[in-house]
Structures are given as C-alpha cells and as structure tokens.
Amino acid sequence: MSVGGVGRLAVAVRAAADLVLPVRCAACREPGGPLCGACSADVRAASFVGGARVTGPDPPPPGMPVCWAAARFEGALRDAVTAYKDEDRQDLSAVLGDALATSVATALAADPVVRRRAAACGGLVLVVPLPSSRASRRRRGGDPVGDLARAAVARVGRCGTAGRSLVVAPVLRLTRAVVDQSRLDRSGRAENLAGALAVRERWAEAVSGSACILVDDVVTTGATLSEAARALRVAGADHVAAATVAATQRRARGPALVSRPRAD
C-alpha cells in the first residue's frame, strides 16, 4: 500500500473508532479530548502561579505531613480528576501525571530531608501512592493513583539526577473496609480511616529508615494523608512528605485551607 494509502486508512480507522467511541472532553463533553482547548486553559488557570505550593487544611489534623499541591481543585481540573477516577478516562493520565510531577519535583527540591536523601550516593526516596479501597478497585478497575504516581515519577526522572532517586513503592494496604470518603465530613473521615492503613510485610525493610513522599490526587481534610503518614512512621520511616495534583479550597463548612508559595 502506498504511504498515502496508509495515511487514508489510518484516518478511516480513526473516524470509525470515533463513531463507536467518540473522544469527548472529560470536562465539558464537547468533541475533542482528553480535554478541549477551553478546558485545557481552565486547567492551566487552576494551577498555582510559580509551581506547587504547600497547602492543606488549617489547622492540620494531627500527624499531617507537609503537602505540596500543583493546583486548586476546581473547574475543569475537578471534572478531569473525577472522570479519571470514576469513568476510567485513562487518557487523562498524562495531564494529571504532569500536575503531580510538578508537586513531586517541588517536594524533592524544597523539602530539606527529601533533598538530602535524594542527593546521597545511592539514596532513594520512596514515592508511596495512597491505596484504593477494594470496592473502588472493583468499581473503577486498575489503580488510578498508582498509575499517576508512575507517570509523575517517570517525568521527574527525565529532568535530573535527583529525580532518578525516586522509586514508586506501593507499600500501603488497607487493614479493614472503609467507606467512600467523599460523603463524610472532617471528623467522619478521620474516624473512617483511623488505624485503617498498614505497611505491607514485604516492604517493611525498605520503609524502615526511609524518606517517603506520599502521593494522592486531591488533599481535602488531610485525613487520608495523616493516616498514611502514621502507618509509615509506625513502620520506621524517618521522614514523610506529601504531594498531590490539587487541593480543595475553603468550604462553607469544615476547615479553611491555606496555601503559600514554596519556601526554598
């Protein structure tokens, strides 16, 4: 077949696929994906100017690690995170993985303990994705936060020596059933998660004495990150920081969220 013929065939195949599974913007549902031009601009507008910021609830829950986030959880970004997790829109992993990479890279540069560990000869920093509940794995399939962690670490690893010290380490497991956090208020979330996470036996040695960056899609009340940090510290982690794609902002009820430019 001629080159032109191959090209025409590819166009025809793509058109046929679009008829079966039209690619629509994950936010506004207009044709074009994973995000249309207007919604991509909206995602950029939600990003913190100058890079990721330390952000989270004020006051933080006990044991909350310092958490960097790349954007405000609003508008098209909020729709994209929801579509990625609830509608299995894996085509959003690059967009969201890039945002998480910004947070992870900032944690790597701005957190003095993490920075020292990454710079040490043979030093490793564990990047620990928050585990999904069994019910949510069944409903959504796969491991959405783990996939974002791998995308983010691959991206940061291409950008310099320190990035190559990052290792995705799915060390945490749920020790009991928890309910969907999104329906709970701040105290309900803390109660739902208290003591619910532990380090997997086969990772115990790696976690002991380690520096860890916990990663998740969104920080809201900090309950999940606090519980995860507790589990890592119990297993002997020396230092725990956190990085997320986005942070929810102040709500009518519940804690205020603060964010400030990174201090470095």
Residues at the interface with Zn ion (CB under 5 A)? 25, 27-28, 36, 39
- Shortest distance, CB of residue 97 to Zn ion, whole angstroms? 19
Cβ nearer to Zn ion, comparing 40 with 133: 40
Q: Which is nearer to Zn ion, 54 or 81 (CB)?
A: 81
CB atoms within 10 A of CB 122: 5
In the complex with Zn ion, the residue whose CB is nearer, 40 or 181, is: 40
> Angle of helix 186-193 relative to helix 223-234, nearest 10 degrees?
30
User: How near is the Cβ of 49 to Zn ion at its closest, in Å?
Assistant: 22
Distance (Å, whole) CA 264 – CA 125 = 19
CB 77 within 8 A of CB 42: yes
The span from the CA of 120 to the CA of 17, in Å, is 49
In this structure, what token pair is assigned to residue 120? Answer: 């040490």
Is 27 or 153 the residue whose CB approaches Zn ion more closely? Answer: 27
Give least dist CB 38 to Zn ion, A.
Answer: 5
Residue owning tokens 């010290």: 165
Largest pairwise CA distance in the chain: 66
CB of 30 to Zn ion, least distance (A): 5
**Nearer Cβ to Zn ion, position 36 or 126?**
36
- Least Cβ distance, residue 40 to Zn ion (angstroms): 8
